[in-house]
A and B are shown apart, each in its own frame.
Chain A
Amino acid sequence: MTALILGRRAATTLLTVLAVVTLVFFMMRLLPGDPVEAMLVEAGAPPGMVERWRERYGLDQPLPVQYAIYLGSLAQGDLGESILYRRAVTSLVAEQFPSTIALSVTAFLVALLLGGAGGLAAAMRPGSPADNAVRLLSTAGVSLPTYWTGILAILLFGATLRWLPSGGSGTWRHLVLPALTLGLASAGVIARLTRASVLEAAAQPHVQVALSRGLPRGLLITRHVLRNAAPAVVAMLGLQAGFLLAGTAITETVFSRPGLGRLLVEAVVAKDYPLAQGCIVVAALTYTIANAVSDTVADFLDPRVREP
């Protein structure tokens, strides 16, 4: 059963990535404009260079041929050469991805810690000032765009208080503001779901029975409430991983950090097909894997799935 679940998840992951790759391949080409022409015209290059460059990147081939060549290379782990950077997409992605992972993992931990603790605290005393505060803050976290909170954080903690660097990368101090900015948005979602799931689990008849039997409160919460509330929260964490990965594009720009998000935005604007496709393949893989992991963990936490 376990092997079956894992196998099914792996197959779904691969199919999802293939679907994403195909969609991106054709959508990028549906956008108006030619990447090579844009680059050369911008440089003021004389006529005659465009054709040579199109040939170099295989853009003179019919679309199905380009697609087949791309899939063939992809199967061998070759993401092609970026038109904009004239370098292998794999090198570019490898260069930028660690920074994005550092940011999204830290932001994820921030979200999990603040969201989980906040949601739990709110659910423990529904209607209390603490509950109201968590609900207010989580709504704010969900509603405020990271672009705005990021610049606000820079102005307050960077320019005014000078506690932390306003941008850049390299040390843990550079990571604090971007991770908090990105994590807070996600923390709001996690807090709201944790609160709702805990309240729902606490209202179950078996919890009420255990309570009336005099089970200590701590044991009641860990054994009966949290275990039942956990699967929904864990499954949603996978989705949040995707949200955080997508959110890095804006956060990286605001905080002048290197990263995959910025690389992708640049690739899309310049219509750099190989680079945009490469970034999306990596992002899609990361997202689907994170999702598959969280779904699997959620399944194992849920006895109804674990023991059929």
Chain B
Amino acid sequence: MGTRLRVGLLLAAVCMALASCSPANHEGTGSKLVYGLTLAPSGLDPHIDVSSELGIPLNSVYDTLVFRSHSGEYVPMLAETWSISDDGLRYEFRLRQGIRFHDGTPFDATAVKRTLDRIADPESGSRRAVTLLGPYVSSSVRDEHTLVVELSQPFAPLLDSFSQVYLAPASPAALDKWGAEYQFHQVGTGPFKLSEYLPKDHVTLVRYDEYVRIPGTYERDVLPEVTEVEFRFLVEPAVRLPALESGDADVVGEIPPQDASRIEQDDEIELVPVAIPGLPLVGFLNTQAAPTDDIRVRQALLLATDRAQIVQTVFGGYSPVATGALSRNHADYAPTAGHSAPSADIAGAAALLDEAGWRLGNNGMRSREGTPLRLRAYVMGWGMVPEVGQLLQAQWKGLGVELQMEEVTFAAALAAVAANEHNLIFWSEPGTDADLLTSFFHSGRLGQRNWSRAASPDLDAALNAAREASDRGARRELYARAQHLIMDQALIIPIRDYVNLNGVRACVGELAFDSRGWFPNLNDLDLTSSCR
């Protein structure tokens, strides 16, 4: 027995030694990159599908009419110049000449019109792109390189929309050839070509060697170092870091905060946190269901929430504490509108609840005329929201408030909203144009994403005016007013500004992201060494 044990141990030692001596499986030549995506989108067609994830590969496949710089300016890309009529109903784009799609089709006004018509066609089933087009009526080709877009109402976010991959011009020849199967055969004008898309498995891009760089957009004026990028779907959060550690992936987004600290101790992997502008993670408080229909209750909950503790405990301190309806890094963020004290003011909250008639009982919980102070929250399982809910439960219990939490699917949460059964629902939404506030706080969106059931004429007026205002300064002021109104009415409990924690292997070098924070700049990447 002793001999057998010794032999076994020896064998195990030999195996371990062999394993440590064997070459790592990521060496070799070429400059292929493996990029881990965190969600396998249901569809990859930018004109039709919704996911932010699809833009991570596709932003490199398409150039857009307009480019959004890191300073938030809209600069020319495929459109050389543009003008907007005084009434804001007509946009004229003068398009760049000499550009070709990856399949050789010339890029011109007809091609852009074809893309816009496809998006606007109800039969195509577009969801996000059609929303970005707003009150679009039609587009017409003035000459080969001039396109005119007509709107039924002024729509100031349109330039921001045209800077997004969802409205990127696609090759009309490919659209005609592939029809509903276009998502598998996409053809744009960007620095990389779509080579293969196998749903739930991978998306592969290869470098487009004829790419014409447009000054003011990408920086690198020679061909990208990376020749091939394979995107893989790492849906399960627990396997993202192991994929990086094993060298199976070179870049992975949305690393769970609990794994981020492990990366910081690893010389081979760098943690790259990228702040995403938009609506932070917020809890929407229902203004039309008791007890949150009382503004004093909503204000008390805001005061009783120790957001700094939540950010530290759940998000490992990697996210800034959110203060209002827009994240701090948003171009239209109004610093004075927020609820700036990140720690709790339990005494202030208790005073408000006392004033509202919710008295503390012997059991430590509050009630009014026999009704306990109880809230219902519906949470979806993503983005550490259940963990946030659990901390809120504990924090509010100290104030004598009971939070009942139910983890449900999004469809089930919407059913609860339709029945007005919710007091609290969490959401976060990326977006660089503050018009995203309209879809969450405008009374015209009751029954949709207006989960606070806000119906404030002042707020509606500010959002409507901002949507139509052509002057940048005026828009900014209107959105500042909207943010003030949202917080004055305590419609939301802001939790954290969204930060995407990316893990990047040392071979990749410095990976930059676009101004929206989601999409990597693969064109300008300088590899430190070959990754595989």
Q: Which residues of A contact B (CB under 8 A)?
A: 31-35, 37-47, 49, 52-53, 56, 82, 84-87, 92, 95-96, 99, 151, 154-155, 158-159, 161-163, 165-170, 253-259, 262-263, 266, 269-271
Contact = CB atoms under 8 A, between A and B. Distances in A.
A143 B441 CA distance: 49
B455 to A, nearest CB: 15
Interface string B435-472: 01001000011011100000000000000000000000
Contact of A159 (B130, B131, B245, B415): B245
B248 A32 contact: no
Nearest to A33: B411
B410 A42 contact: yes
Contacts of B234: 167, 256
Contacts of B233: 256
A256 B236 contact: yes
Given A86-B125, A254-B238, 7 more contacts: A44-B439, A56-B125, A154-B242, A154-B246, A161-B16, A167-B243, A269-B409
B239 A43 contact: no
A158 B248 contact: yes
B199 A32 contact: no
B445 A47 contact: yes
Contacts of B40: 262
A43 B180 CA distance: 20
Kindly list the 3 A-B residue pairs having the minimum CB-CB distance in the complex, ordered from nearest: A33-B411, A258-B200, A32-B415
B5 interface: no
A128 to B, nearest CB: 13
Interface centre among A45, A53, A163 (most CB of B within 10 A): A45
15 contacts: A37-B414, A39-B50, A47-B444, A85-B43, A86-B125, A95-B199, A151-B239, A154-B239, A159-B242, A159-B246, A162-B22, A166-B248, A168-B232, A256-B232, A271-B411
Contacts of B449: 41, 44
Contacts of B243: 158, 166-167, 256
Contact of A165 (B246, B409, B448): B246
A258 B201 contact: yes
Nearest to A47: B448
B235 interface: yes
A162 B234 CA distance: 18
A38 to B, nearest CB: 4
Interface centre among A35, A87, A162, A262 (most CB of B within 10 A): A162
Contacts of A39: 50, 127
Contacts of B13: none
B239 A32 contact: no
A152 B413 CA distance: 34
A152 to B, nearest CB: 10
B131 A254 contact: no
B247 interface: yes
Contact of A162 (B50, B239, B247, B415): B247
A33 B412 contact: yes
Contacts of B16: 161
Nearest to B19: A161
Contacts of B512: none
B126 to A, nearest CB: 9
Given A43-B131, A262-B200, A167 B416 contact: no
A44 B48 contact: no
A262 B199 CA distance: 11
A207 to B, nearest CB: 31
A45 B232 contact: no
A169 B410 CA distance: 30
Contact of B248 (A41, A85, A167): A167
A34 B411 contact: yes
B242 A43 contact: no
Interface string B393-416: 000000000000000111111111
Contacts of A266: 42
Interface range, B side: 35 or more
Nearest to A250: B236
Nearest to A163: B19
Interface in B60-86: none
B100 to A, nearest CB: 29
A163 B199 CA distance: 27
Contacts of A99: 201
A86 B43 contact: yes
A38 B126 CA distance: 15
Contacts of A33: 409-415
Contacts of A169: 201
Given A44-B429, A256-B234, A162 B246 contact: yes
Contacts of B22: 162
A42 B50 contact: yes
Contact of A46 (B131, B232, B242, B247): B131
Interface centre among A82, A96, A154, A170 (most CB of B within 10 A): A154
Given A166-B246, A256-B233, A32 B131 contact: no
B239 A256 contact: yes
A255 B233 CA distance: 10
A43 B25 contact: no
A148 to B, nearest CB: 10
Nearest to B445: A47
A56 B130 CA distance: 17
B198 A158 contact: no
Given A47-B448, A86-B125, A256-B234, A167 B24 contact: no
A91 B200 CA distance: 14
A287 to B, nearest CB: 22
Contact of B131 (A45, A154, A167): A45
Contacts of B128: 43-45
Contacts of A38: 409-411, 414
B411 A43 contact: no
A31 B414 CA distance: 12
A254 B410 CA distance: 22
B122 interface: yes
A174 to B, nearest CB: 10
Given A86-B43, A259-B200, A41 B414 contact: yes
B131 A44 contact: yes
Nearest to A83: B42
A28 to B, nearest CB: 11
Contacts of B198: 95, 258
A32 B416 contact: yes
B492 to A, nearest CB: 17
B241 to A, nearest CB: 8
A8 B212 CA distance: 68
B61 to A, nearest CB: 20
A162 B444 CA distance: 55
B411 A270 contact: yes
B232 A167 contact: yes
A96 B234 CA distance: 17
B415 A254 contact: no
B395 to A, nearest CB: 29
B248 A168 contact: yes
A162 B242 contact: no
Contacts of A168: 201-202, 232, 248
A158 B43 contact: no
A166 B444 contact: no
